[in-house]
Amino acid sequence: MRYLVAIPIFNEAATVRAVLRLVRRYSREILVVDDGSTDETPRLLGSERRIHRIRHPVNLGYGRALHDAFDFAGAGGYEWLITMDCDEQHEPHRIPDFLQAAARRDTDIISGSRYLRSIGGNSLPPPDRRTINRRITGLLNELLGLELTDAFCGFKAYRVSALKRLDLTVAGYGMPLQLWVQAARRGLRIREIPVRLIYNDPHRHFGGSLDDPDARLRYYYDVLGQELGQQILGPERLMGPDPARPAAATRQAV
């Protein structure tokens, strides 16, 4: 099985070298998508050998970094693409778990879940993040007939031929919602596997208005509503039972 590990990065000078060192134990092919880092990350990456590298001149968003990874994997003839973050919240020694699941040949997306099963040493998630994750995950399950437990975990494995059936355009943090809608509509086979819940920095920023939980939730609703079509689900339906409507959010997380 030919596979690629892709790591989107934005200002990860504190962790990038350690993460790459660990990932190399499990993958000979690594792609780093540097999404316009302004710290020492570009210099550190310049000294790394045996990695593929894409560099955005400015920050374009988490979703855009993943789009580039998907395109790179498709053009490179890889069978599977594994994505993980660079903030040490995803453990590289779990990569073989994704490969083992991929070898079963009955799945197109293998999604890590921090809530599928309790694992020793799990962190306590920031309350607003857990609440939003639970709410959006439940809504996706209700609307799409899925059985997800964690809609936002970035530790995933994708069958590259299945990715080619998707048309993903959301550049910000809402991209996973667009992905789940399209995956469900196109009948992609989805499986979750447990990964450890790690929050080394519970105060880590999303950036801009998305640091406000209400704005972030509204943004996620907007992305989901646009992908499903307003004629199918209006804003009131998306808001569910909450009596208050969160303030509007930006379309792209930066």
- What pLDDT score was predicted for residue 248? 31
Is residue 10 within 8 A of residue 36, CB to CB? The reply is: yes
Domains in the chain, ordered, with CATH?
A: 3-203 (3.90.550.10)
Q: What is the pLDDT of residue 237?
A: 47
- What does the pLDDT read at residue 209? 80
Share of the chain above pLDDT 70, in %: 88
Tell me the pLDDT tens digit for each residue of 167-219: 999 999 999 999 999 999 999 999 999 999 987 766 666 777 887 888 989 99
Interatomic CA distance for residues 48 and 41, integer angstroms: 11
Q: What are phi and psi of 70, to 5 degrees?
A: -60, -45
- pLDDT above 80 for 126: no
pLDDT for residue 246:
32
Q: Span 219-239, mean pLDDT?
A: 69
Geometric angle at alpha carbon 146, from 143 and 149, rounded to 5°:
110
Q: How far apart (Å, rounded) are the C-alpha atoms in residues 31 and 158?
A: 15
Query: Cβ(231)–Cβ(151) under 8 Å?
Result: no
